[in-house]
Structure 1
Amino acid sequence: MKKHLRVNKALIGQKWVHNLVMTIENGRVTGLTDVNTGDDSAKPQHSYTSLTVDMHIQGTVIPGYIDTQVNGGGGIMFNQTPSFHRLRVMADAHRQFGTTTLFPTLITDQIDVIERAADAIAEAISDEHPSIAGVHFEGPHLSVEKKGVHPPRFIRKLSDRELDTYTRTDLGQVVLTVAPENVPTSVIGELVASGVVVALGHSNATYRQVERAIEAGATGFTHLFNAMSPLTSREPGMVGAALLNKCLCGLIVDHQHVHPKTVELAYKIKGPHELMLVTDAMAHVGTTQQTIPFFDRNISRQGNKLTTEDGTLAGSCLDMHSALMHCVNDIQIPLADASAMASTTPAAFTKIRDRVGDIAIGKVANFLVLDDNNALNAVWQYGQQVSGITIPNNN
């Protein structure tokens, strides 16, 4: 079914366009018509006067968010009995905050849990779940020294059995976080050749070790600044390598993991097309639960911070829209750039930009409607409004 939406203001190709009609058919954008000129970037062209507008979207329209690091949501952790049902709960919890595409993230665990998680993802991909584009395995091939809350008893070298799981062809796009000192460059090259996106993180590697991993095909860094060897005067470490290279870096902008001024510095060095917002969200997002079990410990919420009993920072209760608002309001990053960090850049990193990440002809109609204060008013996914209020056309 075709529908025409009149939009007051939209971010199209990193530029603000005012007063246009967006045509949607079968869940994808098929036309973007300038109301003032009648110019349409779709073919065949249509004049605005020939269009019957079905709805008037008053507000600012930006692409739906893409979160590449989602450990849990809606009271559920992916590691706990991974299943398609749990994935649906997690996706629903994050969608209300503007995340229309996500990569469920399995942290360090036993091989049978990894395989069951892969089966759940394969079911979601086969079922064409609208939010799930793949999976992120964060570990278990990490550094014990930079483990964070990852259980050290499960951290290990990469086996053939695990390699077979990561390179399955029914998982959508696979992202794998490794510590380069724990995975040979030959294995990184093999993973990349099989289509896996390799990110570096939870690592105490030297600058040279990181450089060799990048030369082997690693293209990103997992939660920049957190759980990685720091930049010092005599050893640039993983942080120095991340800032110097063209690789893409995830960033948790919750004001708990990274100081706002450190975010500002990273933004000035890397720019919006090499930084991507991630939540590293735990089960707390989308629920009022304060304490949730995590392996043999508990993770508790204290305000906007999650910690274990000993005070160790344990993921976040951050949602993507809050991350964007922190960037815009507290760090003074322009909305267009913050939007790119939440959509276009993660789409490029995960190699799904041919489908999502922008409002463009041929791409899935995933977009958000913000009010004048950038509060989230409505979420659209595959051309359908799934939350919020949008004003019907009264012309």
Structure 2
Amino acid sequence: MVENYWLACEAALIGRDWVRPAFLHICDGRIEQVSSQRPKGQPLVEAGAGLLVPGFIDVQVNGGGGVLLNDNPSLQGLRKIFAAHSQFGTTAMLPTLITDSLESMRSTADAIAEAVATGEPGIIGVHFEGPHMSVAKRGVHSPQYLRSISQAEMAVFARQDLGLKVITVAPEVVSPHQISELVAMGVRVCLGHSNANARQVQAALRAGASGFTHLYNGMSALTSREPGMVGTALADEDSWCGLILDGHHLHPLSAKLAIRAKGMDKIMLVTDAMPPVGTNDAEFSFYGEKVIRSGSKLMAPSGSLAGSVLDMAGAVRYAVKCLDLPLEDALLMASQCPAAFLGIQDSYGSLQVGRRADMLLLDKQLQVQHVWLAGQPWSLEKNNHEYC
């Protein structure tokens, strides 16, 4: 296993600028030096033809590789989910538990704690999407599990062995005082699956909420006299918004509007991925009902979208091809921006001196060719999809 080497590539996105050619000195899993000049007398590894870019960070991953976290909250399940997403450039993720029982929350927390303690590749924390949400905007979240926060759930969120913690709540269900308590526990609070008005959303933001889960989807809309959650999110300068760029959850104009209103630095590309990612599975069970895959769309029996089969590389390609965004912006929304939201931008999210050497090599079609985790090559199984 090579621990100290120079990596040569045609071009690398260093910070926000391209270096052509680029030579990166990798030592003990981090980037020690970046140069445009070939080093002399040093071990040199050729990355191959393509663009070297930061590894992607996905803060909302419900499943992959045939596994739904709710159904398999275990170290083995986490490994399968990450293996499925890593082939599409995800090098760090928050496995996401969809609204479920207290027992499931505890089991998930135990699995995440084990993964964090043992340094399981790619698993940097957990996202609890619910269960403290609005019935009116629940989407496919089961109403039987929707509830207010009790001390039992607070005890789960308070755990300090879970790595990075994100929770999605509705501000009409969770009070500003409770949001402040969560933030004090080290939890990053996102707002979503909510029918809240602007006043309620602003109160939640003042209490410390810092993000919005899959903007537009599962939240009160912007209207002329009531901005709702969508309008308040777009107007707020400090919070981050997740976008699902799969061609189904958002109209391209809505996505463009969000990026223009918030600025690229406050937008995170997320997948909201379900078990079929990385497989050819045509269906899976969710809350005991069958979800059907039709191309790149997942439909619940109710007719609602049930997450996605999106991967991060596909989201980046969509941003470039369908939203006409510069490649640099699309890449940063998949890496540096989620790192900033999570507060780990000093270690993750960009190819700069001192950062982890989590890297990808993309070809001209922006397909992932190679992945490095902390400077070490990561094996891939190619199974690419298009969304635009």
Give the aligned partner of residue 371 of structure 1.
363
* 1:54, distance to aligned residue in structure 2 (A): 2.7
Q: Distance in 2 between matches of 1:166 and 1:188?
A: 11
Residues 137-171 of structure 1: CA deviation (Å, up to 9, x unaligned): 00000000000000011100001111111110000
| 2:219 matches 1:228 | yes
Taking the TM superposition and a 5 Å limit, the aligned residue runs for 1:203-352 are: 203-246=194-237, 247-352=239-344
The one-letter code matched in structure 2 to 1:34 is S
Taking the TM superposition and a 5 Å limit, the aligned residue runs for 1:55-94 are: 55-94=46-85
Percent sequence identity is 48
* 1:268, distance to aligned residue in structure 2 (A): 1.4
How many residues align? The count is 378
Q: Pick from 87, 91, 109: which aligns with 1:118?
A: 109
The one-letter code matched in structure 1 to 2:253 is K
Q: Check the 8 A contact 1:130/1:382 in 2, yes or no.
A: no
Q: Distance in 1 between matches of 2:113 and 2:278?
A: 24
Q: Check the 8 A contact 2:86/2:380 in 1, yes or no.
A: no
Give the aligned partner of residue 100 of structure 1.
91
Q: Distance in 1 between matches of 2:123 and 2:380?
A: 21
Q: Return 179-188 or 304-313, whichever deviates more.
A: 304-313
Structure 1 unaligned regions, length at least 5: 37-47, 390-395
Q: Distance in 2 between matches of 1:388 and 1:114?
A: 31
Q: Distance in 2 between matches of 1:377 and 1:54?
A: 15
* 1:117, distance to aligned residue in structure 2 (A): 0.3
Q: Secondary structure at the match of 1:132?
A: coil
The one-letter code matched in structure 2 to 1:267 is I
* 1:56, distance to aligned residue in structure 2 (A): 4.3
Taking the TM superposition and a 5 Å limit, the aligned residue runs for 1:74-223 are: 74-223=65-214
Q: Pick from 20, 35, 51: which aligns with 2:42?
A: 51
| 2:1 matches 1:9 | no
Residues 258-312 of structure 1: CA deviation (Å, up to 9, x unaligned): 0111111111111211111000000010111111001121111011100112311
For the aligned residue pairs, the C-alpha RMSD in angstroms reads 1.2
Give the aligned partner of residue 384 of structure 1.
376
Q: Check the 8 A contact 2:61/2:94 in 1, yes or no.
A: yes
* 1:50, distance to aligned residue in structure 2 (A): 4.2
Q: Distance in 1 between matches of 2:150 and 2:364?
A: 52
Q: Distance in 2 between matches of 1:118 and 1:56?
A: 37
Give the aligned partner of residue 392 of structure 1.
none
The one-letter code matched in structure 2 to 1:382 is A
Q: Distance in 1 between matches of 2:260 and 2:101?
A: 40
Q: Check the 8 A contact 2:5/2:42 in 1, yes or no.
A: no
* 1:34, distance to aligned residue in structure 2 (A): 2.4
Q: TM-score of the superposition, structure 1-length normalised?
A: 0.94
Q: Check the 8 A contact 2:135/2:143 in 1, yes or no.
A: yes
Q: Distance in 2 between matches of 1:126 and 1:237?
A: 40
Residues 55-89 of structure 1: CA deviation (Å, up to 9, x unaligned): 24321111000000000000010000311110000
Give the aligned partner of residue 42 of structure 1.
none
Q: Pick from 9, 18, 24: which aligns with 1:22?
A: 24
The one-letter code matched in structure 2 to 1:2 is N
* 1:373, distance to aligned residue in structure 2 (A): 2.6
The one-letter code matched in structure 2 to 1:168 is R
Q: Return 94-103 or 363-372, whichever deviates more.
A: 363-372
Give the aligned partner of residue 386 of structure 2.
none
Q: 1:374 to 1:180 in 2, by over 3 A?
A: same
Q: Distance in 1 between matches of 2:12 and 2:232?
A: 36
Q: Secondary structure at the match of 2:223?
A: coil
Q: Return 100-109 or 4-13, whichever deviates more.
A: 4-13
Q: Distance in 1 between matches of 2:49 and 2:293?
A: 36
Q: Check the 8 A contact 1:142/1:203 in 2, yes or no.
A: yes
Q: Secondary structure at the match of 2:225?
A: coil
Show structure 1 runs of 4+ deviating over 3 A. Answer: none
Q: Check the 8 A contact 1:285/1:319 in 2, yes or no.
A: yes
Q: Check the 8 A contact 2:92/2:123 in 1, yes or no.
A: yes
Q: Return 360-369 or 165-174, whichever deviates more.
A: 360-369
Q: Distance in 2 between matches of 1:96 and 1:20?
A: 23
Q: Check the 8 A contact 2:92/2:122 in 1, yes or no.
A: yes
* 1:30, distance to aligned residue in structure 2 (A): 1.2
Q: Secondary structure at the match of 1:331?
A: coil
The one-letter code matched in structure 2 to 1:291 is E
Q: Distance in 2 between matches of 1:60 and 1:388?
A: 17
Q: Secondary structure at the match of 2:10?
A: strand
Q: Check the 8 A contact 1:63/1:368 in 2, yes or no.
A: yes
Q: Return 263-272 or 238-247, whichever deviates more.
A: 263-272
